[in-house]
Amino acid sequence: MSFAPGSLVRTRHREWVVLPESTSELLRLRPLGGGDDEVAGVLTDLEMVEPATFSWPDPAGAGDYHSARLLRDAARLGFRSSAGPFRSFGSIAVEPRPYQLVPLLMALKLDPVRLLIADDVGTGKTIEAGLIAKELLTTGQASRLSVICPPHLAEQWQAELSEKFHIEAELVLASTASRLERTYCTFDESIFDVMPYTVVSMDFIKSERRRDEFVRTAPDLLIVDEAHTCSAEIGRGGFRHQRHELLRRLAADPERNIVLVTATPHSGNEGTFRSLLGLLDPSFEEVPPEERMDERTRDRLAARFVQRRREDLRKYLDEDTTFPDRLVLPEEVGTYHLTAEYREFVDKVVDWARQTVADESGGKHRQRVRWWGVLGLLRALASSPAAAAETLRNRAAPAMTATVEEADAVGRSSVLDQDDADDSNAPDAVPGADADPEESSTASVESRERRVLRQLAEEADGLVGPLDAKLVHATKVLRKLVSDGFYPILFCRFIATADYLAAALRLALPSTVTVESITGVLPAAERKARVTALGAREKRVLVATDCLSEGINLQELFNAVVHYDLPWNPTRLEQREGRVDRYGQPSPEVRVATIIGGDNIVDETVLQVLLRKHRTIRSELGISIPVPGSNDEFIETIFDRLFHQGGNRQLNLFAPDVTVIQQSLFVEWERAAAQEKESRSRFAQRAIKTDEVAAELRAARQAIGSVADVRRFVRAAVRALGGSVETQRDQAGRETDRLILRELPRAARDVIGADRDVVVARYDPTLESGEVYLERTSPLVGGLASYLLDVALDVTPGTPASRCGAIRTNAVTITTTLLLVRYRFDIELRQRAETSRLLAEDLDVLGFEGPPSEPTWIDTSRVTDLLDAEATQNIDPEQRERFLSLVVRGQDALGPELESRAYQHAEVLAETHRRIRAGARATGRIEVNPHLPVDVLGLFLLVPDGL
C-alpha cells in the first residue's frame, strides 16, 4: 500500500505523518505532534503500516477550559513545516524585524535569485541573507549552499547559520580542506560534491588550484559576504582580480542563485559598482551613472538591489527597531601629550627614519624596502614603547623581495590597514621582521646600524609606566567609562601593545574590574571562550587587536569602544565600532573614545587628513563612506612628504602640495557620500511596498506565532506544569522572566533539556550576561510545546493542556463551541522542469453557536475574543461531559463545513504563495491541496450563565 505525503498512518503503536521524501518501500515518518528530531524511517516490508485517522477529543478526558489557548499555542509553536507565506519560518530561531523581510520578498520574485543587499552596518544583513537561503532550501528551489566570505568571518557565518537557521555548514578553509577531503571524499569527488552546506574562505577558493574545481562543483545557491572586495577594479596584488574572476565564472551559470552582501557597494566609484551589478545581470555593467539613469533601468535595478540607512529602519511599519545612539566623545577627552623623555626618544627615531629613507644606496628597490620598514616603525612608535622596542629589535623591514612592486605589495599588506587585502594574512600586526642581508653594503655599516637600533630599543624599554603618557591618559578615560557603567573594548594594532596594555591596566584599575587580552595568537575558539567568560564579570575591560574588529559581534557584552591605536583607514574605524554599535545592543548608548597624541606627528597626520573627515561625513549624512579610490595611495603620499621634510619636526599639513592633495580627496569624498546617500534613498525599497510587507508579516506571525505568543506560552506552560515565573522590567521597559523549573515533572524537564532549576529568559536578542534568549525553536520552548501536545493527545490525567473543556461565562448568550483544527496540506511548487512537493501544517480556531445539527458559524475576530472568555462558575463534571458528548456525536454534521474551510484555506495559501513569487518563473505553478478529514485537536464549550 502506498501513502501520500501528509497522510496519517499507524505503526509502532502510535500515529505518524508521512513525509514527502517517502517511497513505497521506505516511509519517512514524523510522530503526530513530534518534531523533526523524532523523524524515523520504516521499511514497509518489515513493519506493519496501516492508514489512520485522527480521533476527536474524548469528553471523558475533559479538563479546564483555559487549556484551549495553551493547547493551541503548543500545537502552533511545535510546527516546523508552516503552511504560511514563508515555508521556512517554522524552523528558524529568529523573528525577523519587519524591514528584514524586504530582501526576502524581493528574492522570491526572482528566478534565479540574483540580489545585492547593501543595508547599513549593524542592521542584520546576515539575517536577511540567511532568510533567503533558508526559504530557498526549504521550498526546494535550491538544494545546496555555500557562503563565500573572508576567512575571519567564516566561523561567525557558521554559527549564525546553525543557531538562527538550523543549517549545519562545514568550514572550508586552508586549515580544514585537506582533512575534509581525506575524511569524506573519494579520489574523484570534491568537498562540494559531498557537503551540501559549506562556509568557504574566499581567499582559499580563489586560488588557481582550487578555482576551477569550485566552479565545476559549486552549489546552486551562493551567498557572498563583503562583496565589495570582489569588484573588478582598484585591487592591488591581484587580490580583487582573482576574486572577481571567480565570481564572474560562477555567475555565468544562468540557473545559479547568488546573493551579494556588502555595506559599501558604491563609494563613488562607478566602475566598481557596475562590476558588482554585472554579477546580477551582465547588462547592468553598462548602466549609466545614477544621475543619468532612466526610470526603466532604475526599476530593473531596484528589483535586485536594496540599500537602506539605519535611520530609515528605526521605525518601519510602525514597529520600532532599537539601534543604540553612538556618542563619539570630544577629541580633547582622548588627547594626551608626550612626556619630555618620550618626546626626546621620538625625535631620535624620526631623525633616524628620515636618514634611512634618504639613503639611495642599493637602488629603487632597496629604497622602497627601507621606506616600508620605516613606515612600520612609525606605526609601532605611535602605539606603545613595547611595540616600538620589538620593531626596533627586528629592524621593521618587510620580508625579502625582488622587485619594487613586490616590496610595495608586502609593505602595504603588513603596514597599512587595507580593506581589500588578501585575508589569508593574520589580522594582527606583528612589528618587525628579519633584516634583509642585502640592505647594507658592508658588514661594518650593518653592524653600526644594528648597534644604533639596539640602543634605541633599550631606550624604548625604559619608557613605561609614568613616562608613557598615552597609557596614563587611557587609564583615566577607562576609569571614567567603567564608573559610568560602561563595558569598554580597547582596540590596538600590535600584539605587543595589547599584552603590554592589559598587564598595565590590571595593576592600574580597581581590583573589581577584570581585564582580558585577546590577540590573533589565540585560536578562534579560545578567543570566543575568553570573551564569554569575561562577559560574566560585573565590571570588565577587553583589550584586543584587530583580530576582533571583524568576525565576532560583541554587542551583548560590551557597549564602548576605545581606539587606543588610530587606524590608518576609516573603514577599520567603522569595523571596530560596528562590533558593539548594532542591532541587539541592550544599552541605549554606545560611547566611543579615541586616544590621540596631541604632539604625535603620526597621530596628527592621520587624524587631520582622514579620520576627522570620516567623522564629519558620518555625522552629517548618517552613513559611513570609505575613502574614494585608494586609501593606501593617499597615506603613502602624505607620509612620503613627511619623510622628505628635512629637519622639520612636524609635517606641515598646510603646505601647498599637501593642501592640494587633501582638498582634492575631500571633494571626491563628499561627492561619493552624496551619491551614496542618494542611492540609499532611491533603492531603499522601490520594488517592495510597505503594505505588502505588512500583509505577509501578519500572515507569517499568525501562522507560526509571534514573540508575544512565545512569551505568553512559556509563562502559561511553566505555571501550568507546577513551576513559577517572576517577571522584571528594566528602565527601558524590557521584560525578563525568571523561570523556576525545579517543580516541573521529571519527564517535562527531560524533554526541555533543563539542566538547572532557574532560567533567566528574554524574548529578544538584546541579552545581558547570564540570560537566555527564548524563541519558538529554542529547546525549552519546543520541548514545552512537544510535551504538552504529547500528554494532551495521550489523554494523560491531569494534563494542563487537555483537548476539551467547558465553562459557564457571561461572554455568550447561546451555547458556543470552539474547535481547534489542524489542516495538513500538500504544496506543489513547479519551477522550470522540476516539481517540489512539500508538506505543510496550519492551525485555525473555528466557532459556531447552537447545536452541531444547526450551527451558526461566527467570524474569526469573535472567536479570538472568546478564547479569552472568563468563567463565571464551574460546571459539574457529569454535566460537562454530557454537553461535550453532544458535540462529538454531531461531528458528521460538521464534516462538510470543516472540509469547505480546508479548501478555502488552501486557496488562500496558494494565492499568497503566488503573490509573493509574482515575477518569478514559478508564478501560476503553485498548487495547495488539503488532506481530509480535518484534524480536530481541541473542543471547547462556552455555556451561558443560567443554562
Q: What is the pLDDT of residues 95-106, one digit of tens each?
A: 888 889 889 989
Residue with cell 478555502: 904
Give me the pLDDT at residue 377, please: 86
Q: Is the pLDDT of residue 613 over 50?
A: yes
pLDDT at residue 426 tops 60 = no
585/820 Cα distance (integer angstroms): 39
Q: In this structure, are residues 64 and 801 in contact, taking their beta carbons and an 8 Å threshold?
A: no
pLDDT band at 432 (very low <50, low <70, confident <90, very high): very low
- Name which of 518, 625, 531, 496 is nearest 573 in CA terms: 625
* Least confident segment among 25-29, 390-394, 738-742: 390-394
* pLDDT on residue 425: 43
Q: What pLDDT score does 317 carry?
A: 72
Q: What is the pLDDT of residue 942?
A: 92
pLDDT higher than threshold 90 for residue 472 = yes
Mean pLDDT of 419-433: 50
Is the pLDDT at 436 greater than 60? The verdict is no
Mean pLDDT of the chain: 83
d(CA 577, CA 592): 8
Distance (Å, rounded) from C-alpha 334 to C-alpha 343?
Answer: 18
How many C-alpha atoms does 433 have within 13 Å on its Cβ side?
18
d(CA 416, CA 408) in angstroms, rounded, equals 11
Q: What does the block give as the cell for 859?
A: 467570524
Average pLDDT over residues 765-778: 80
| The pLDDT of residue 83 | 67
Which range, of 78-87, 183-192, 364-373, averages the lowest pLDDT?
Answer: 78-87
pLDDT tens by residue, 76-98: 787 666 666 787 887 888 888 88
**pLDDT of 215 over the 80 cut:** yes
As a whole number of angstroms, the distance between CA 133 and CA 153 comes to 18
In the block, which residue shows the cell 606641515? Answer: 652
| pLDDT of 435 | 39
The mean pLDDT of 543-549, rounded to a whole number, is 88
- Whether residue 167 contacts residue 134, with contact meaning beta carbons closer than 8 Å, is answered with yes
State residue 688's pLDDT score.
Answer: 67
Contact 90, 839 (CB under 8 A): no
Closest CA to 385 of 457, 296, 438: 457
Q: Which three cell numbers stand for residue 646?
A: 628635512
Residue 20: per-residue pLDDT: 82
Bridge partners of residue 843, in order along the sequence: 822
CA 234 to chain centre: 28
Predicted confidence (pLDDT) per residue in 482-495, tens digit: 999 999 999 999 99
Over residues 581-591, the mean pLDDT reads: 89
pLDDT band at 551 (very low <50, low <70, confident <90, very high): low
Interacting residues of 671 by C-beta distance below 8 A, sequence separation 6+:
268, 628
118: DSSP letter:
-
How far is the C-alpha of 808 from the C-alpha of 940, rounded, in Å? 11
Whether the predicted pLDDT of 685 surpasses 80: no
Cβ atoms < 10 Å from Cβ of 588: 12
With contact defined as beta carbons under 8 Å apart, do 489 and 544 qualify? yes
Top-confidence residue, 731 or 934: 934
> Picking from 42-51, 785-794, 805-814, which range would have the lowest pLDDT averaged per residue?
785-794
The answer to whether the Cα torsion of 672, 678, 682, 683 is positive or negative is: positive
pLDDT tens digits for range 912-933: 888 787 765 544 478 889 999 9
The pLDDT score that the predictor gives to residue 434 is 34
**Which pLDDT belongs to residue 633?**
66
The three cell numbers of residue 254 are 544562468
| Start-to-end C-alpha separation, the chain | 50
User: For the residues 437-446, what does the mean pLDDT come to?
Assistant: 44
Alpha carbon distance 148, 165 (integer Å): 17
Confidence class of residue 241 from pLDDT cuts 50, 70 and 90?
confident
For residue 732, the model assigns a pLDDT of: 62
User: Taking the model in full, what pTM does it have?
Assistant: 0.81
118 vs 627: CA distance, rounded Å: 18
> Does residue 398 have a cis peptide bond before it, meaning omega lies within 30 degrees of 0?
no
Residue 737 reports pLDDT greater than 90:
yes
Query: Is pLDDT larger for residue 401 or for residue 379?
Result: 379
pLDDT at 396 exceeding the cut of 60: no
Radius of gyration of the chain (CA): 32
Mean pLDDT check: name the lowest of 178-192, 723-737, 891-905: 723-737
Cα(294)–Cα(218) distance, rounded to whole angstroms? 36
**Distance of alpha carbon 203 from alpha carbon 150, whole angstroms:** 7
Which range is least confidently modeled, 149-163, 433-447, 604-618?
433-447
Q: Per-residue confidence at 813, pLDDT binned at 50, 70, 90?
A: very high
pLDDT band for position 217 (cuts 50, 70, 90): very high
Query: One-letter amino acid identity for 867?
Result: L
Residue 262 C-alpha cell reads as 556588502
Give 641-652 pLDDT, tens digit per residue. 666 654 444 545
- Grid coordinates given for 378: 612609525
Query: Left (φ > 0), alpha (ψ -120 to 50) or beta: where does 35 sit?
Result: beta
Decide: helix, strand or coil at residue 221: strand
Is residue 386 predicted with pLDDT exceeding 50?
Answer: yes
Query: Which residue in 264, 294, 292 sits closest to 276, CA to CA?
Result: 264
Q: What is the C-alpha to C-alpha distance for residues 727 and 737, in angstroms, rounded to an integer?
A: 4
Q: How far apart are CA 172 and CA 195, in angstroms?
A: 10
Kindly indicate the confidence band of residue 240, based on its pLDDT and cuts at 50, 70 and 90.
low
- Give me the phi and psi of 927, to 5 degrees please: -125, 140
Average pLDDT over residues 743-772: 85
Give yes or no for residue 480 having a pLDDT over 90.
yes
Structure confidence at residue 360 (pLDDT): 72
More confident residue, 743 or 753: 743
Q: Which residue has the higher pLDDT, 200 or 674?
A: 200
**What are the DSSP E strand ranges found in 534-601?**
539-545, 560-563, 589-594, 596-597
Confidence class for position 513, pLDDT limits 50, 70, 90: very high
Q: What is the pLDDT of residue 147?
A: 98
pLDDT band at residue 616 under the 50/70/90 scheme: confident
Mean predicted confidence (pLDDT) in 364-393: 85
Task: Name the more confident of 813 and 53.
Answer: 813
**pLDDT beyond 90 at 168:** yes
Q: What is the pLDDT of residue 246?
A: 94
Question: What nine digits make up the cell of 225?
Answer: 559576504
612-621 vs 570-578: helix crossing angle, rounded to 10: 60
